[in-house]
A and B are shown apart, each in its own frame.
Chain A
Amino acid sequence: MAAQTRTANRHHRIIIWSLLLLVAATLLLPLIPYAMDYVDPSGTVPNPGADLWRDVRNGNIGTSQVLGVDAGVLINDNGERWRHFRMNQLIPVGAMFMGSVLALIVLFYLVRGPLRIQGGATGKMIRRFSVFERTTHWFTVGLFWLLALTGLILLYGRFVLIPVLGPEGFGLTASACKEAHNLFGPMFLVALLMMFFTFVKDNIYARGDMTWLLKGGGMLGGDHVSAGRFNAGEKIWFWIAMIGGAVLIGSGFVLDFAVFGQGREVMAISHVLHGIAALIVITVSFGHIYLGTAGVEGTIGSMVNGEVDEAWAKSHHDRWYAEVKAAEGGGENEESAGGTAATGVASPARDA
């Protein structure tokens, strides 16, 4: 009886252990290759699929029967970064930057008003810019605003102009702007070179510029600060325009003539540089325009007729005024440097 029971118990145990062993084997045996791999890395079997995608992610260039720039690149990783830059940074930050500077200028005008000529105009005029200098300036101005407006339309038109013109109307406008922008862009190189060689000699750092800067150019109150033909502020604007212009032209050529095999990465980087430089130069130009027109009385005439009032010259550019007077005293004609035409002969029409 007892033996029978024992036998039955053993059978039960054998059955239970067998079952457990089976379960364990089913669950664990398939893991053995993985476990071995885990214990001994030299036996690692690479997952070819994972390899492939990792290579693709790393920009591993493949080959393709289709010929074309970047045809062998399966995934363009930069696209998403460029999209983020353009849509989330350039467009909103640029708008805020330009808008806030404009608002500051308006606010400054409302609070301070225009800077008057000290002691009033004398009516005696002296020549400040030659015909060639003014031609260079306005030629550059014309090209700059043609390019800036067409560029801004391409950048902001989707948000501002589509509601007004409709999709087809804006498509037409944008196409026209794109063509004009691409065509006028290279001409800006001519303008920039003319600008550089005409004005560079008076825009090099000179003694007194730092003092002018530290005193804020007299804009924040206090006396006028001594300055030469161009003050430190004008010099900074000159160099911002020159360096910004050079960046714009360099990147613009890359973007404009996309036939030299430059790929998407180069184009995207050029676009980033182009956008940043354009928004900086446009924004700073607001300040330049304000100071040249409404901001400082008697300045606009220097670029229209080439002449300024003596009182204006004495207060804003005293050292330049002294140089001009000294040259006149020396019996020299006042034809300015860089001039090509007989500017001092006729009395210019004042109505332009």
Chain B
Amino acid sequence: MARMKFLCDAERCIECNACVTACKNENEVPWGVNRRRVVTIHDGSPGERSLSVACMHCSDAPCAAVCPVDCFYTTDDGVVLHDKDICIGCGYCFYACPFGAPQFPVAEAFGQRGKMDKCTFCAGGPLPDNSPEEYSKYGANRLAEGKLPLCAEMCATRALIAGDGDTVSDIFRERVTWRGSSGFAHGWGVAYKNQHRDSKGKAVEGKAAGGD
């Protein structure tokens, strides 16, 4: 049985946010909700890297563990989904999630959290596949149509890969082999000589930081 995975290649992501836009468009998510976002570390400095992040569909999902009403379930494809008819919008999944995936509709003053919304790996929800109710509550169900999540299909640099975990890791392994080692490009130290960063992200002049 396939086990669905996302993988974002930090060496390829160019922070174009096309995945974010594609996701919003495909799933018609409410205002203020972003199921996917691109995070840039060291923006504007050497060593800048961007990563597109959404629900990573964990095997031992922390959101499911802490949910007080137990509304999460994992599909046969390894996609973590939740039932909005049970969700009470308490926000505990958001506290527990490592990736900040759970989203809540925009709060007013003295806000009320609405029902949680998150990336479904374009796999809809517990309602009948591709029914209007499913679409309005959970967004598209591309998996049922034999397609992969639109964010990954849209990615121009093929940084974001989605699909069966085995296939995804094969693709990435091949890339890594070509590059030499993960993220290691020959001549890097020449091109960016003496502009290393220490663990706090501060530029270190002169001698390279020993810890690096």
Q: Taking beta carbons and an 8 Å cutoff, which residues of A are in contact with B?
A: 41-52, 54-56, 58, 60, 62-66, 68, 70-80, 82-83, 86-87, 154-155, 157-158, 162, 167-168, 170-171, 174-175, 178, 257-259, 264, 267-268, 271
Residues of chain A within 8 A (CB-CB) of B32 are 68
**What 0/1 pattern do residues 57 to 88 of B give for CB contact below 8 A with A?**
00000100111111100000000000101111
**What 0/1 pattern do residues 40 to 68 of B give for CB contact below 8 A with A?**
11110001010101000000001001111
Q: Taking beta carbons and an 8 Å cutoff, which residues of B are in contact with A?
A: 10-11, 15, 17, 20, 32, 34, 37-43, 47, 49, 51, 53, 62, 65-71, 83, 85-92, 94-100, 103, 107-111, 113, 181-185, 188-189, 196-197, 199-201, 207-210, 212
Residues of chain A within 8 A (CB-CB) of B209 are 46
A31 to chain B, nearest CB (A): 14
Nearest first, the 6 A-B pairs at minimum CB distance are A49-B183, A45-B189, A171-B86, A66-B37, A46-B212, A259-B111
Best-buried of A62, A174, A257 by chain B (most CB within 10 Å): A62
A174→B68 contact, CB < 8 A = yes
Residues of chain B within 8 A (CB-CB) of A259 are 107-111
| Interface of B: prevailing SS | loop
B41→A77 contact, CB < 8 A = no
Residues of chain B within 8 A (CB-CB) of A74 are 39, 41, 51, 53, 99
Residues of chain B within 8 A (CB-CB) of A73 are 39, 100
The residue that A155 contacts in the complex, of B68, B86, B109, B207, with Cβ under 8 A, is: B68
Known: A63-B39, A72-B39, A82-B95. A48 touches B183 (CB 8 A): yes
Residues of chain B within 8 A (CB-CB) of A56 are 41
B199→A55 contact, CB < 8 A = yes
Residues of chain B within 8 A (CB-CB) of A66 are 20, 34, 37-38
| Interface of A: prevailing SS | helix
Residues of chain B within 8 A (CB-CB) of A62 are 39-43
Residues of chain B within 8 A (CB-CB) of A168 are 85-86
Known: A54-B199, A167-B69. A268 touches B41 (CB 8 A): no
Known: A48-B188, A264-B94. A65 touches B41 (CB 8 A): no
Residues of chain B within 8 A (CB-CB) of A155 are 68
How long is the Cα–Cα vector from A82 to B63 in the complex, in angstroms?
Answer: 11
Known: A63-B39, A63-B40, A259-B107. A157 touches B68 (CB 8 A): yes
A257→B111 contact, CB < 8 A = yes
Residues of chain A within 8 A (CB-CB) of B188 are 45-46, 48
How long is the Cα–Cα vector from A267 to B86 in the complex, in angstroms?
Answer: 23
A157→B69 contact, CB < 8 A = yes
How long is the Cα–Cα vector from A56 to B47 in the complex, in angstroms?
Answer: 13
A171→B183 contact, CB < 8 A = no
